[in-house]
Amino acid sequence: MNLLFLGGTKFLGRHLVENALQAGHRPTLFHRGVTGAALFPDVEHIHGDRDGGLGALGGRSFDAVIDTSGYLPRLVGEAASRLAGAAERYVFVSTISVYRDFRESGMSEIAPVGTLPDRSVETVDGDTYGPLKALCEVAAERAMPGRVLILRPGLIVGPNDPTNRFTYWTTRLARGGRFLAPLPRERPVQFIDARDLAAWTVRMTEAGTTGVFNVTGPAALLTMEGFLALACDAVGNDARPVWVDEAFLIAEKVDPWMELPLWLPGEAWRGLCEVSVRRALEAGLVLRDPAETVRDTCAWARSLGEALPGEAGLDPEREAALLRAWETRGG
């Protein structure tokens, strides 16, 4: 297959291109040349900004477009419209953050999505990210009706992760000792290895599949306690959790999800890590053992030395201070 990647040189995009090459496909990468420009030297790269620069793709034809870099409905709509006559299908990487109410557990693909009072907004932040992605889905489908595959992944993790959100836990547990762990222990966690998402996406593209799929893992319920236990085993360390309640973390102004990854307080966000992936599993999604993801992510992080990307996670001094404060309270 002749595949056009809008992106393709950062994290998920890298894994997608690698899988496409392994499957014998012909990728073309359209990107700005800012991140990973030296990757895939034997693949055609077309440098340009998708905002006004898609003319560089004129006269080309593709079996499918895989869009990993669409955040604004205007730009996704323009790309899909311009390529509607040049490509058979459009694969759009969206997010499970599109849903309107995360107090509901087990949400399927038909759950209501978030909306924006002003659809012209193009500022991407914590409030607009999900609804903008939902509008991107609409824009793609409007331009190429019946020819769009929409993927809604959860937290994407693994080697080459630029955020440190998942990597934090692998490197922190590898250091050993007592570590801060957020209660409740039974809170579900979900994530998907970028390599699993990429492999399945390529297979779905090959099959010409369309429609909407939640894509995250693992296949069975995994709690925060279960995740931390398997992660400790995976890195081969005797790290010991100190379970701290949400009220303390909130009082200490710990930033949910970013400063303490996988932690979202209260019930308002419970559903974000408890969506249904039954449809994707029935469509052949294969998820590796989370312990393998932990081991591989930790090994990748170690290979970088001190150059770990991303701002997520507690720095050691901050964590130590929080543990002291918790113990002072008699926690």
Residue 121, Ramachandran bin (φ over 0: left; ψ between -120 and 50: alpha; else beta): beta
SS3 212: strand
Whole-angstrom distance, CA of residue 49 vs CA of residue 32: 5
Beta strand 211-215 pairing with 148-153: parallel
Q: Which of 310, 274, 280, 279 is nearest to 196 (CA)?
A: 280
Instruction: Specify the amino acid at residue 116.
Output: L
Which tokens hold the place of 322? 């929080």
DSSP labels, 141-175 = HHHSTT-EEEEEE--EESTT-SS-TTHHHHHHHHH
Per-residue pLDDT at 13: 96
Beta strand 178-182 pairing with 240-244: parallel
- Domain map (residue ranges) of the chain: 2-153, 167-188+220-269+290-328
Whole-angstrom distance, CA of residue 297 vs CA of residue 291: 10
Whole-angstrom distance, CA of residue 143 vs CA of residue 103: 32
Per-residue pLDDT at 266: 87
Give the Cα-Cα-Cα angle 316, 318, 321 (nearest 5 degrees): 105
Which tokens hold the place of 179? 């570590």
The pTM of the full predicted model, rounded to 2 decimals, is 0.96
Cα separation values, 104 from 107, 162, 183, 273, Å: 7, 29, 20, 10
Per-residue pLDDT at 42: 95
In terms of Cβ atoms closer than 10 Å to its own Cβ (0-12, 13-18, 19+), residue 34 is exposed
Whole-angstrom distance, CA of residue 320 vs CA of residue 331: 14
Whole-angstrom distance, CA of residue 67 vs CA of residue 5: 6
Cα separation values, 42 from 7, 18, 91, Å: 16, 12, 23
Whole-angstrom distance, CA of residue 220 vs CA of residue 6: 33
Task: Give, for all 331 residues of the chain, the pLDDT tens digit.
Answer: 999 999 999 999 999 999 999 999 999 999 999 988 899 999 999 999 999 999 999 999 999 999 999 999 999 999 999 999 999 999 999 999 999 999 989 999 999 999 999 989 999 999 999 999 999 999 999 999 999 999 999 999 999 999 999 999 999 999 999 999 999 999 999 999 999 999 999 999 999 999 999 999 999 999 999 999 999 999 988 899 999 999 999 999 999 999 999 999 988 888 999 999 999 999 999 999 999 999 999 999 999 987 778 889 999 999 999 999 999 987 6
CATH homologous superfamily for 2-153? NAD(P)-binding Rossmann-like Domain (3.40.50.720)
Per-residue pLDDT at 331: 65
Give the Cα-Cα-Cα angle 144, 150, 151 (nearest 5 degrees): 160
Q: Which of 319, 284, 304, 68 is nearest to 167 (CA)?
A: 304
Which tokens hold the place of 309? 């990307």
In terms of Cβ atoms closer than 10 Å to its own Cβ (0-12, 13-18, 19+), residue 263 is buried
